[in-house]
Amino acid sequence: MSHSPHIVNRRFFLRAAGVTLALPLLESLSTRVLGAGLAVGSKAGAAVGASRPTRMVCVGNMLGFYQPEFFPKQTGRAYDLPSLLQPLAPHQSDFTLYSGLDHGVKGGHFAIHSYLSGVRTVDAKGMPEGNISLDQRAAETIGGATRFPSLTIGSEDGLHGGCMMCWNRSGTRVPPIPGPKELFRKLFITESGSDRERAEDRFALHGSILDAVNGDAKSLGRHLGKRDQEKLDEYFTSVRDVERQMELGKRWTNVPKPQPGMPEPANTGVVSDLPVLYDLIALALQTDSTRIATLEIAGGFEASAFGLRKDYHALSHHGQVQENIDGLLKLEKYQMEQFARFLAKMKSLEDGDGKLLDHTMVLFGSGMGNANAHTNNNLPMIFAGGGYKHGEHRLFPEKGLGRVPLCNLYLTMLQRFGVETNRFGLSTGTMRDLERA
Q: Tell me, what's the pLDDT at 180?
A: 84
Contacts of 391 (CB under 8 A, 6+ apart): 77, 92, 93, 94, 95, 96
Residue 321 belongs to some domain of the structure: yes
Is 148 part of any domain?
yes
96 DSSP β-pair partners: 383
Task: Examine residue 427 and state whether it is found in any structural domain, yes or no.
Answer: no
Give the C-alpha separation, 67 to 135, whole Å.
Answer: 26
Secondary-structure percent of the chain, ordered helix, strand, coil, rounded to 5: 40, 15, 45
Q: What kind and span of H or E run contains 55?
A: strand 55-61
Confirm whether 403 is domain-assigned.
yes
CB atoms within 10 A of CB 400: 6
CB atoms within 10 A of CB 125: 10
pLDDT on residue 245: 63
pLDDT in tens, 361-398: 999 999 999 999 999 999 999 999 999 999 999 999 98
Domain membership of residue 380 (yes or no) is yes
pLDDT of residue 205: 63
Write down the pLDDT at residue 32.
Answer: 43
pLDDT at 94: 98
Digitized pLDDT (tens) for each residue of the chain, 437 residues in all: 344 433 344 456 777 766 777 777 777 665 444 333 343 333 333 433 347 899 999 999 999 999 999 999 999 998 999 999 999 999 999 999 999 999 999 999 889 999 999 999 999 988 989 999 999 999 999 877 888 899 999 977 655 556 789 999 989 899 999 888 888 878 776 555 666 566 666 666 667 777 777 777 777 877 788 888 888 887 887 787 777 666 655 554 444 433 334 232 233 467 888 988 898 899 889 888 899 999 999 877 889 899 999 999 999 999 999 999 999 999 999 999 999 999 999 999 999 889 999 999 999 999 999 999 999 999 999 999 999 999 999 999 988 888 999 999 999 999 999 999 999 999 999 998 888 87
Is the Cα torsion angle 117, 123, 125, 127 positive or negative in sign? negative
**By the 8 A CB rule, do 82 and 386 touch?**
no
CATH of residue 341's domain is 3.40.720
Among 314, 392, 405, residue whose Cα is nearest residue 77: 392
Count how many domains the chain has. Answer: 1
In a domain, 123, yes or no: yes
* CA 309 – CA 307 distance, rounded (Å): 7
Q: Domain range for residue 350?
A: 53-197+267-417
What pLDDT score was predicted for residue 223? 78
Predicted local distance difference test score (pLDDT) of residue 37 = 39
- From CA 374, how far away is CA 110, in angstroms rounded? 10
Are 398 and 102 in contact by the 8 Å Cβ rule? The answer is yes
Query: Running DSSP on this structure, what letter comes out for residue 102?
Result: -
Rounded to a whole number, what is the distance in angstroms from the first to the last CA of the chain? 34
The CA–CA distances, whole Å, from 190 to 12, 226, 282 equal 16, 31, 20
Please state, in angstroms and rounded to a whole number, the distance separating the CA atoms of residues 66 and 235: 36
Residue 63: inside a domain, yes or no? yes
Distance CA 166, CA 22 (A): 26
- Report if residue 145 sits inside a domain: yes
